[in-house]
């Protein structure tokens, strides 16, 4: 099966008629490039958002309304070059925020930042996943009042019950709220960003 067909079939499987497309494949409409010091260029090409490697962090944030609980986000992400996280997905959880980190701390570490003050390298959601370069990965995030779950392809790698935990962000990504995508000294590519609200 060729790559284009595989991506098409995965898109069909992930999509739902009620999904809201957060990226039209042509423009950065409703997205703002975050003015990080020394950030890389951000542009659209081939129905893809490219977030180029910057001095430290580069990224974009959603400027329209976004739910705070009981929602799902799906997208495809690819590391183009670099060895740190190529998709840091900052998202709301009721009155708090978290970041889902993919491929940080040298290229493979993933998880949620921050839980009870500990980032993804130091809390119970820490896991390692080899992403490499050049491959598209199907990513899905589910947020409810009780839990946060995340998948890469069909593999669930985050299954976190919130309970009484304190949720927060690392200071570096606070400007990406309410919903944003960042990279760290790495070029990332993002496409087919969808928001799904069950029952809506």
Identify the CA nearest to 104 among candidates 184, 191, 168. Answer: 184
Residue 10 has pLDDT above 60, yes or no: no
Mean pLDDT, rounded, for 44-60: 98
**Rounded distance, CA 40 to CA 51, Å?**
7
Mean of per-residue pLDDT scores for the chain: 92
What pLDDT does residue 63 have?
98
Half-sphere exposure of 142 (CA within 13 A, CB side): 15
Residues in the chain: 200
pLDDT tops 50 at residue 200: yes
Give the pLDDT of residue 16: 52
In the chain, the percentage of residues whose pLDDT exceeds 90 is: 88
Mean pLDDT within 46-57: 97
Q: How many domains does the chain have?
A: 1
Q: Does the structure show a pLDDT above 80 at 14?
A: no
To which residue do tokens 């986000």 refer? 73
pLDDT tier at 6, thresholds 50, 70, 90 = very low
What was the pLDDT predicted at 182? 98
What is d(CA 200, CA 184) in angstroms, rounded to the nearest whole number? 35
61-102 pLDDT, tens digit each: 999 999 999 999 999 999 999 999 999 999 999 999 999 999
Judge whether residue 12 has pLDDT over 70. Answer: no
Confidence category of residue 161, pLDDT binned at 50, 70, 90: very high
Domain with residue 20: its CATH number is 2.60.120.560
pLDDT band at 199 (very low <50, low <70, confident <90, very high): confident
Per-residue pLDDT for 17 more than 90? Answer: no
106-158 tens-digit pLDDT: 889 999 999 999 999 999 999 998 999 999 999 999 999 999 999 999 999 99
Which pLDDT score, from 0 to 100, does residue 18 have?
78
pTM of the model: 0.90
Task: Using alpha carbons, select from 83, 128, 131 the residue that is nearest to residue 106.
Answer: 83
Token pair for 155: 């593999």
Structural domain of 88:
3-196
């Amino acid at each position: 099966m060729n790559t284009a067909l595989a991506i098409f079939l995965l898109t069909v499987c992930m999509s739902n008629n009620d999904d809201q497309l957060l990226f039209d494949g042509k423009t950065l409409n409703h997205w703002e490039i975050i003015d990080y010091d020394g950030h890389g260029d951000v542009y659209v090409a081939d129905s893809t958002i490219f977030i180029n490697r910057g001095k430290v962090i580069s990224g974009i944030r959603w400027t329209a309304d976004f739910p705070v609980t009981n929602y799902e986000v799906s997208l495809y992400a690819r590391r183009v070059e670099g060895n740190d996280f190529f998709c840091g997905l900052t998202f709301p959880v009721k009155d708090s925020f978290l970041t889902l980190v993919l491929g940080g701390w040298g290229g493979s570490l993933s998880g949620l930042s921050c839980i009870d003050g500990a980032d993804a390298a130091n809390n119970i959601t820490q896991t390692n996943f080899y992403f490499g370069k050049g491959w598209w990965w199907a990513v899905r995030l589910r947020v409810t009042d009780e839990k946060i779950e995340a998948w890469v392809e069909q593999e669930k790698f985050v299954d976190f019950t919130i309970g009484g935990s304190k949720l927060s962000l690392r200071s570096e990504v606070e400007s990406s709220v309410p919903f944003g995508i960042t990279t760290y000294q790495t070029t990332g590519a993002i496409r087919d960003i969808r928001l799904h609200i069950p029952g809506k």
